[in-house]
Structure 1
């Protein structure tokens, strides 16, 4: 079976945790299978991989442990966020007052707006740097779980006699029902990976970043090969 799932915790090459420390994947109940008269379509199953991962023991344990392991980063980010809000609020209040008062020129308003935007963007980048270890931890845990997901899916499908598996979001209409395989996959996944390592090793990079580096290296190698061939002196 080809890879069923890419890392869901990555954005722009790296998943970064929110200051509020919300989980990367919100746990949600298994979606109900569409049905007509309670009939089950033989061999057809549905499953939400995001829901399975978010409800797995390894994921939920890591989410709990992360609050303690990275408490210093969460506290630092929260303190910095509070300071940024205090810095920006009077600037926004002044901008709104000047705009409504009608005394400030358009150029002055644009300068104020640009200053506020610059502070916001700088603050966002600073918070991302503070929370980078948290984002790496999320990506590392998700990748460990995803590495076991394919086998868990295949095992659950085999045991339940499911030959076609689709996402609930992909169903428009079906004359009958589909077996909900979420819990079966979850059981297999919990057996395969009851817990995950929380902190990645030094120098670890998420799968998407590694794949991008490999693609860039391959492209550079292809570009270098013709250039090297052109530089070869012609023999006599």
Structure 2
């Protein structure tokens, strides 16, 4: 029952959770100015590619444009979220009152908890459906940027004579100015893709969906081929 009481209120958090189709990384791309302090290992670099993506001009401009382009969806989701919150609150209040009784009716409490949880799940699914165009836009923009990211990384490595690039979470500590490639990669990325298309074309699907569909089709094709090669009885 405690789980229900702690999670019953949808509030704005539910709508915000539905919006996040990408990692909301607040880290700024650190400059990569050379440093004269300490021993420097030639050919080694550190880069946070997720931070580079969200700090790119294309990503930040798209985030600003999306608020206007998809204002109708945002407004609809907020209105519906407020309605769901108002609908759930009396149910939660009753549940809390009933559970504090001297001899609470456990069967009734279980029914109330189940009803609250069901309404929450339905509300979350409804909000996700309303905000589906927003999520697709986020995925579309990020995919366009990621398509240019590898070349930007290679170009930055070449200019800095870097042969190995590590993620920040794979090392304990490092001299940020000497090894940080974030700004170098960001500069290359901003040049390669200064802006991104905000609205995906009709029928567009994120890469992970396309790849899953392709894998499923390949598996079905292999299964069909194996079946056709099986010998038939006399």
**Which 10-residue stretch deviates more, 22-31 or 72-81?**
22-31
| Preserved CA contact (<8 Å) 1:77 1:131 | yes
Shift of 1:132: 0.1
Matches within 5 A, 1:28-177: 28-30=27-29, 37-173=37-173
Distance 2:92 2:178 in 1: 53
SS at match of 1:195: coil
| Preserved CA contact (<8 Å) 1:153 1:185 | yes
SS at match of 2:201: coil
| Preserved CA contact (<8 Å) 1:59 1:195 | yes
| Preserved CA contact (<8 Å) 1:17 1:132 | no
Shift of 1:229: 2.0
Q: Alpha-carbon deviations, 1:69-122, whole Å to 9, x = none?
A: 000000000011111111111111111111111343111110000000000000
Shift in CA distance, 79/231, structure 1 to aligned 2, threshold 3 Å = farther
Q: Number of residues paired by the alignment? A: 218
| Preserved CA contact (<8 Å) 1:36 1:175 | no
Matches within 5 A, 1:174-193: 179-193=179-193
| Correspondence for 1:11 | none
**TM-score, length-normalised on structure 2?**
0.85
SS at match of 2:100: helix
SS at match of 1:45: strand
Return the structure number with greater helix share. Answer: 2
SS at match of 2:158: helix
| Preserved CA contact (<8 Å) 1:66 1:198 | yes
